[in-house]
Amino acid sequence: DQPTDRSRRVLLKLSGEVFGGGKVGLDPDVVGDVARQIAAAAADGVQVAVVVGGGNFFRGAELSRRGIDRSRADYMGMLGTVMNALALQDFLEQADVRTRVQTAITMGQVAEPYIPLRAIRHMEKGRVVVFGAGAGMPFFSTDTVAAQRALETHCDEVLVGKNGVDGVYTADPRTDPTATKLDHVTYTDALRGGLRVVDAAAFSLCMENELTMRVFGMGPDGNVTRALRGERIGTLVTA
């Protein structure tokens, strides 16, 4: 039901790990680099929306194991994603890309509320839209939000950028030395095989709505631009 003549529109999911460069907090050098890579693709006319994770600040499940009420811990996690969104916005603006942050929890001084039609309009005008605060609901993950936002804003594909792994493997490559990388996998096989590189809920949502996903590694340099432009890196996941 999508017009075929409009430019490619994609949703990029970046986990908090990317923003922290593997540590707690923000690594401005890494965020700046990712922003410049997004800017390069946006300059080619690719319409880009980004969903940011927050694992570099807080993960609700971990905090709740340490005694904080799960829902409150999840809200803390969501607030962490907003800091990542603002950092990405800043570096995108520095790279001359007009950027709007929309959050699922209203915070009028720092971001627009999530308004899907407005997000689409921003992208049509060449602005990058960064979605923060997840779904605004505890017990969800930002992977699932990435699938949902991609569907609601009519993106052609979900691109999941990973640290430390460059696609979907037959098993967890960090623990199983026999694991091999797949160029293509179906959602059904990924779910059956328990391949948890992306949340099962996100896989299910994409599968049911026939939205394709590409899982790729953040390195080597330039991979984010390549994925945004539609190059066949990493693993393609289809229904």
Q: Is 140 annotated as belonging to a binding site?
A: yes
Tell me the two tokens of residue 81. Answer: 């994603």
Q: Do 111 and 87 contact (CB within 8 A), yes or no?
A: no
- Closest CB to ligand UDP among 74 and 166? 74
Q: Map residues 130-169 to x or -, x wherever contact with ligand UDP holds by CB under 6 A.
A: ----xx-xx-xxx--x------------------------
Q: Is 166 annotated as belonging to a binding site?
A: no
Angle at the Cα of 28 from the Cα atoms of 47 and 32, rounded to 5 degrees: 30
| Interface with ligand UDP (CB under 6 A), residue from 9, 11, 12, 16 | 16
Q: Give the number of other CB atoms < 10 A from CB of residue 28.
A: 13
Piece of the chain touching ligand UDP by CB under 6 A; list 48-56, 162-170, 186-194, 221-229: 48-56
What sign has the CA pseudo-torsion 43, 163, 16, 183? positive
Minimum distance from CB of 113 to ligand UDP (Å)? 15
Q: Is 139 annotated as belonging to a binding site?
A: yes
Q: Give the number of other CB atoms < 10 A from CB of residue 208.
A: 12
- Closest CB to ligand UDP among 143 and 157? 143
- Closest CB to ligand UDP among 123 and 160? 160
- Closest CB to ligand UDP among 160 and 211? 160
Task: With residue 102 as reference, give the H or E element that holds it.
Answer: strand 99-103
d(CA 87, CA 183): 32
Q: Is 223 annotated as belonging to a binding site?
A: no
Among residue numbers 49 through 78, which ones bind ligand UDP (CB under 6 A)?
53-55, 59-61, 74, 77-78
Tell me the two tokens of residue 194. Answer: 């328990």
Of 216, 218, 213, nearest in space to 201 by CA: 213
Q: Is 59 annotated as belonging to a binding site?
A: yes
Residue 21 neighbours by CB under 8 Å, 6+ apart = 27, 29, 30
Minimum distance from CB of 154 to ligand UDP (Å)? 20
Binding site for ligand UDP (CB under 6 A): 15-17, 53-55, 59-61, 74, 77-78, 81, 134-135, 137-138, 140-142, 145
